[in-house]
């Protein structure tokens, strides 16, 4: 009931303000004044707070330290403050020093985080502005024609190699089904040759043929699996690593152009004292992002060069393997097929190696 009475009075009362900023005399009871004093004591310390000004034409940085704001002194009840803080520490106690050091560390971490968020916000704003300017044709962008052409070729090559990988994977699946069918057909012929004496030789010939085709098919599956694994590594590891570096390069290029445009805009302003300070800061930011851009552009150039060399070596080996294995299998040359596996160090997979285990099927 006491709280409701206070809120009712605070909501309906009017506080007259004199010309010098002092409040007039309140014609209310003393209990409301004491409660308001207690609220002021338990509230935040205004001298340690920064007010962010978002208005147009404000001071530089938009930060107004409230220590510069003058106003009437706030009266408070010392006894209430003592009750909140508890008994004073005895002589020689280090609790006060420990509390102060902890408070300073916490305050330092908070300031560091606030500064990081501020820098991130400024950078995001500049990059977003630059991105929209480029998209609508109002801003300029830095272009390395030779490097951009190489990046486009890499992305096109990656798309084509992904098509090869998809088709080779489908071929493996279809051929594996055929080999499994041949295996089942050979087992059936063997069983019938034992149960049909009048057709024993005919069933026996067909059983041996299907088993031979099955063994050769397993050898071809091992070769195709080796081919698929090599292409997958080239696409999803080697090329993807280079494309990640390219993505970082493109983001850095956007940041570089954003700070370059900002420096150009600052240079067009009148050259007063404050403007010269802003131009100098913009020049420093521009140089930092230019160095970062140049470094990543060099990294991309080097990775593209090594990627091209690696791609040629890998594809020469994989394409030769694929050709020799397919040719030997469909020519019925079992010896050449085995020699191809030995030449490229391809291990023959045991039958059913690609099938899931009984634990995976559960």
The answer to whether residue 85 scores a pLDDT higher than 50 is: no
pLDDT band at residue 99 using 50, 70 and 90 as cut-offs: low
Taking all residues of the chain, what is their mean pLDDT, rounded to a whole number? Answer: 75
Report pTM: 0.61
Show contacts of 304-310: CB within 8 Å, 24+ apart.
Answer: 304/147, 304/150, 304/151, 304/154, 304/242, 307/154, 307/238, 307/239, 307/242, 310/234, 310/238
Within-domain flag for 266: yes
Gap between the Cα atoms of 287 and 285, Å rounded: 5
283: CB partners within 8 A, 6+ apart: 263
Out of 112-121, 146-155, 234-243, which region has the weakest mean confidence (pLDDT)? 112-121
Within-domain flag for 253: yes
What is the pLDDT, as a whole number, of residue 349?
65
Query: What is the number of structural domains in the chain?
Result: 1
- 190-212 pLDDT, tens digit per residue, is 999 888 889 989 999 999 999 99
- 51-84 pLDDT, tens digit per residue, is 333 333 333 333 333 334 344 444 445 454 444 4
pLDDT band at residue 268 using 50, 70 and 90 as cut-offs: confident
The answer to whether residue 101 scores a pLDDT higher than 80 is: no
Domain carrying residue 257: 121-136+144-348
Range from 23-32, 55-64, 66-75, 144-153 that averages highest in pLDDT? 144-153
Within-domain flag for 114: no
Within-domain flag for 6: no
Structure tokens at 86: 């508890």
pLDDT band at residue 156 using 50, 70 and 90 as cut-offs: very high
Is there a contact between 217 and 301 (Cβ–Cβ < 8 Å)? no
Within-domain flag for 183: yes
Gap between the Cα atoms of 294 and 274, Å rounded: 30
What is the pLDDT, as a whole number, of residue 16?
42
The answer to whether residue 232 scores a pLDDT higher than 90 is: yes
Range from 58-62, 87-91, 106-110 that averages highest in pLDDT? 106-110
Range from 27-36, 119-128, 218-227 that averages highest in pLDDT? 218-227
pLDDT band at residue 266 using 50, 70 and 90 as cut-offs: confident
The answer to whether residue 18 scores a pLDDT higher than 70 is: no
Residue with tokens 């995001």: 124
Within-domain flag for 250: yes
Is there a contact between 293 and 253 (Cβ–Cβ < 8 Å)? yes
Torsion of CA 232, 237, 238, 244, to 10 degrees: 130
The answer to whether residue 21 scores a pLDDT higher than 90 is: no
- Assign residue 189 the CATH number of its domain: 1.20.1270.60
The answer to whether residue 86 scores a pLDDT higher than 60 is: no
The answer to whether residue 273 scores a pLDDT higher than 60 is: yes
Within-domain flag for 40: no
């Amino acid at each position: 009931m006491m709280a409701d009475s206070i809120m009712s009075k605070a909501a309906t009362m009017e506080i007259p303000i004199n010309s010098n900023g002092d409040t007039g005399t309140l014609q209310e009871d003393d209990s409301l004044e004491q409660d308001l004093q207690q609220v002021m004591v338990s509230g935040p310390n205004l001298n340690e707070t920064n007010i962010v000004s978002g208005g147009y034409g404000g001071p530089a940085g938009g930060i107004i330290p409230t220590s510069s704001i003058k106003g009437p002194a706030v009266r408070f009840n010392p006894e209430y403050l003592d009750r909140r803080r508890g008994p004073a520490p005895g002589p020689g106690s280090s609790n006060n020093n420990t509390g102060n050091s902890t408070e300073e560390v916490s305050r330092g971490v908070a300031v560091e985080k606030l500064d990081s968020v501020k820098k991130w916000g400024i950078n995001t704003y500049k990059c977003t502005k630059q991105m929209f300017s480029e998209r609508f044709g109002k801003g300029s962008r830095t272009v390395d024609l030779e490097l951009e052409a190489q990046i486009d070729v890499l992305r096109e090559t990656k798309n084509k190699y992904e098509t090869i990988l998809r088709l080779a994977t489908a071929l493996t699946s279809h051929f594996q089904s055929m080999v499994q069918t041949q295996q089942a057909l050979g087992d059936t012929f063997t069983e019938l040759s034992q149960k049909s004496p009048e057709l024993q030789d005919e069933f026996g010939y067909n059983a041996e043929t299907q088993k031979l085709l099955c063994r050769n098919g397993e050898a071809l599956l091992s070769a195709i699996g080796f081919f698929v694994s090599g292409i997958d590594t080239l696409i999803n590891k080697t090329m993807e690593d280079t494309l990640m570096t390219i993505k970082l390069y493109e983001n850095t290029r956007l940041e570089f152009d954003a700070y370059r445009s900002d420096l150009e805009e600052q240079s067009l302003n009148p050259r007063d004292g404050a403007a010269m300070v802003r131009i100098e800061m913009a020049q420093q930011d521009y140089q930092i992002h230019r160095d970062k851009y140049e470094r990543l552009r060099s990294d991309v150039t080097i990775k593209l060069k090594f990627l091209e060399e690696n791609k040629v070596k890998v594809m020469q080996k994989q394409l030769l393997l694929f050709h020799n294995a397919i040719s030997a299998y469909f020519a019925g040359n079992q010896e050449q097929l085995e020699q191809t596996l030995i030449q490229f160090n391809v291990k023959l997979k045991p039958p059913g190696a690609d099938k899931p285990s009984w634990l995976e099927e559960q």
